[in-house]
A and B are shown apart, each in its own frame.
Chain A
Amino acid sequence: MRLPRFDYFGPDTLDAALELLATHKEEAKILAGGTDLLVRMKKGLLNPKVLISLKALNGLSYIKKDDEGIKIGARTPLADIISSDLIQIQATALSQACEKIGAVTLQHYRGTIGGNILQDNRCHHYNQSKFHRSGRQACHKEGGKICYARDESDRCNSTCQSDGATALMALGAKIILASAGHERTVDLENFYTTDGIMPFAMEPHELLKEIFIPFQGGQSAYHRLAFRSAIDYPIVCAGVLLTPSLTQKDEIEGARIVVGAMGRSPLFLAGESAGLKGKKFTDFAAFQTAADAAMNSAATFAVHNVGGTLEYRRAMVSPMVFRALKEAAQAADR
């Protein structure tokens, strides 16, 4: 498959990249690893006039730690995150999630954490060849007025299948968006629109610069279900964070349960998370209750569009959340 034509820029500094982005806006796309972007371009889902490569911006590739948390440059390759002891210990869920993205030879060296967060939502009616799509009317995501995944839906129901974003949301991560002369920090859970066509609440002239994971104590874990252990996107995934009480070490003070690959964004389930406060780390019955409640909440968002039957995907939310909770609790108990 040939790539469509475009102009290529490889700026040497972040400022130059932001300047280019400000000039070209919607017509430009940022090229980091290219493992998602170039596939979409080859399929004709995207046709940017300009690609701005981050190749020369080595300054965007780092993993640092300060008193408040871990800072990860958006262009950091997944391989660096997987091999980082700091992330493995302090942000276990992220390490587990990155390890499961794609395959070693496929994503880990070229693919970046920023690219994983910003990978476009997917739907098996939309992510198809030009030929396949030419046989029917355009769907919402392609600019039409039809949704093939849910009858009579007035909007796009494409699914966010990012492993990294699910884990990072569980870890309470923030992201830093840079634009020419300006920077803003957003909680990852507030970064999503509820629109499958443009799932991210970011402007065309903004660039994802850094991911910040605050230290909250406690343990995190990530579990996912996919057809194959490598290459495939998850059809259900769950990331959790459990923090112990300062006074009672065996008691849960705060919990964050996030379910991914079920909706237009990873779903932070505030009610189910709050229900775990005050429970013991060994209270598996409470985890099961929370996992079942998470399943009921998340199930309403899912549509039949990423493979697997809908019933199966909905039913699998509970085991994924339960396993993640159990693993995090056992790690905290140690």
Chain B
Amino acid sequence: MEKIEITLTINDKLREVSVAPNDTLLEVLREKFDLTGSKESCGEGVCGSCTIQMDGKPVRSCLTLALEADGCRIKTVEGLANGDQLSDLQESFINHGAVQCGFCTPGMLISADALLQNNPKPDEKTVRKTLAGNICRCTGYAKIVDAVCHTGNPDNQCPDCKTGQ
């Protein structure tokens, strides 16, 4: 089983790496590039904590071979913030208390970010449908959904939100 050279554009940086055929993209991101934001929980595509964006589309990195991602643009949760400046979505998660244990958060952010890029003002139903593949065992989802909705519609009245206070 030979190692194969692949090229990935990870969070806008061109990277080269040699991978084995049975390395998943998640393993490469975490172990070779130290991008440990994406998490492995179930390892079988059910929970969504390993979600990353491949060419702008949210996919499960635990069920994607690194070789299959050769030449693709990859965006992980580390790519959302601009240096120390968090993205609006990340700020909104904080302001709404949408993070508890935080294990699902990277996946939630990446799924929500992919939605907001295509649909900047999603309604609650769309947000719930889009995040249906990401499981959270702490928050009960309400605050996460609020946080995503509020990012797209910042003028909405939102009783729980600390934004603008």
Contacts and interface: CB of A to CB of B under 8 A. Distances in A.
Q: Which 3 A-B pairs have the closest CB atoms?
A: A103-B133, A230-B132, A8-B21
Contacts of A231: 46, 132-133, 135
Interface of B: 1, 4, 20-24, 27, 43-46, 48, 51, 54, 57-60, 63-65, 67-68, 107, 111, 114, 129-130, 132-135
Nearest to B2: A7
Interface stretch (A35-43, A86-94, A184-192, A308-316): A35-43
Interface residues of A, number: 31
Nearest to B55: A109
Interface in A25-46: 31, 34-35, 38-39, 42-43
Interface of A: 1-8, 10, 31, 34-35, 38-39, 42-43, 51, 53, 55, 79, 102-106, 109-110, 228-231
Contact of A105 (B20, B24, B27, B130): B130
Nearest to B130: A104
Interface of B is mostly: mixed
B22 A3 contact: yes
Contacts of A42: 43-44
17 contacts: A1-B43, A3-B65, A5-B20, A7-B21, A34-B63, A34-B65, A38-B45, A39-B44, A42-B43, A43-B44, A53-B65, A105-B107, A106-B60, A106-B133, A110-B59, A230-B132, A230-B133
A104 B58 contact: yes
A24 B21 CA distance: 17
A2 B30 CA distance: 14
B35 to A, nearest CB: 18
